[in-house]
Amino acid sequence: MEFFSFKRNIPFMSYGRYTTTISLATFILAVFFIATKGLNFGVDFTGGTVMEVHYAEAADLNNVREQLSDMGLQDALVQNFGSSHDVLLQVSLKQNTVGANLSELILSKLQEQDPSVEMRRVDFVGPQVGKELVENGALALLLVSIGISCYLWLRFEWKFGVAAIVANLHDVVIIIGFFAFFQWDFSLTVLAALLAVLGYSVNESVVVFDRIRENFRKMRKTEVPEIIDNAITRTMSRTIITHLSTQMMVTAMLFLGGEALHYFALALTIGILFSIYSSVLVASPLLLLMGVSREDFIKPEKVTEEALP
């Protein structure tokens, strides 16, 4: 079923040179922000104190943030945890200007306005653990990228693997660039979103690549740019429906999921938008640039000479 029908092929490849130039410029800009501003790592990566406190009545998060701000902890993460009565506080080592006995000082400060506040849990994440998480996270991204490239190489052809991995890394680097530029909190949930975007983006690329391979076998007398345009156009209805459905769910998490899911959903939103762009206007033009042809899938028949009598 197609809700969006396109009667003619959309000439995507005629704009390939411009779209790849825009992508390259965006990629370089993202790398620049990552290198100059760096990421605002959360407690998961920097190490710090995680506290869970319980209120007899529904907690006023804005009031809690003001109390922590008075202690010099302006950047502490404050969010509901499980219910409106439970609050999760996260203070990284770089934010901790209070010194030792941080949890006791915070509890004492909160009890000044509400004596019913109870401490339920206190955890400390050491800087060494945070460093290991950064290294393991980077390794996870690398291994997933290599796995995707190998999979596409085996399923299609090496040019498809190279095009897909460039497009997917383009999406991931741009997401990280947004987090670096705006200094949004980069936590383990954001890392999980990056891995999800890699899988989501490669799924879109596989659909387009599969249609391109099919077109090479069916459209024997058609030029390569038109074959790719036809493949993208024929999958546009599926692309629009899939991405709209996914974004509806992610948007619900973004606005209704609370602070715990906010940056996770934000990273997914950026990834979904750029995965549409990269699979159509980055990966496919790269295939054309690398000289993909019908012979990559259909080997020319060998002409044998007739046996002499």
Q: Does residue 305 surpass a pLDDT of 80?
A: no
> Model pTM?
0.81
Backbone angles phi, psi at 148, to 5 degrees: -65, -45
Give me 114's structure tokens: 């509400």
Report the topology of domain 48-125. Alpha-Beta Plaits (3.30.70)
Task: Give the separation between CA 197 and CA 192, rounded to whole angstroms.
Answer: 9
What 3-state DSSP class applies to 95? coil
Q: Does residue 209 surpass a pLDDT of 70?
A: yes
What confidence tens digit (pLDDT) does each residue in 164-182 have? 888 888 888 999 999 999 9
Per-domain residue ranges for the chain? Answer: 12-40+129-293, 48-125
Find, among 152, 298, 299, the residue nearest to 227 by Cα.
298
Which CATH code fits 12-40+129-293?
1.20.1640.10
Task: Give the separation between CA 164 and CA 282, rounded to whole angstroms.
Answer: 9
pLDDT of residue 300: 58
Instruction: List helix spans (H) across the chain.
Output: 16-37, 43-46, 61-70, 102-113, 127-155, 158-182, 188-218, 224-234, 236-256, 259-281, 283-289
pLDDT above 70 coverage of the chain, percent: 90
What confidence tens digit (pLDDT) does each residue in 108-150 have? 889 888 888 999 888 887 766 667 777 887 888 788 778 877 8
Give me 145's structure tokens: 């990228």
Task: Give the separation between CA 111 and CA 124, rounded to whole angstroms.
Answer: 22
What confidence tens digit (pLDDT) does each residue in 46-101 have? 778 888 999 998 889 889 989 988 888 877 888 887 788 899 888 887 665 555 57
Over the Cα atoms of the chain, what is R_g?
A: 26
What 3-state DSSP class applies to 309? coil
pLDDT of residue 142: 81
**Averaged pLDDT score across all residues of the chain:** 83
Find, among 279, 278, 271, the residue nearest to 191 by Cα.
271
Q: Does residue 38 surpass a pLDDT of 50?
A: yes
Asked if 94 contacts 39 with a C-beta cutoff of 8 angstroms, the reply is no
Give me 69's structure tokens: 């701000």
Confidence of residue 28 (pLDDT cuts 50, 70, 90): very high
Q: What is the largest CA-CA distance in the chain?
A: 109
pLDDT of residue 76: 83
Element (H, E) at 59: none
pLDDT of residue 180: 94
Residue identified by tokens 């009565």 is 85
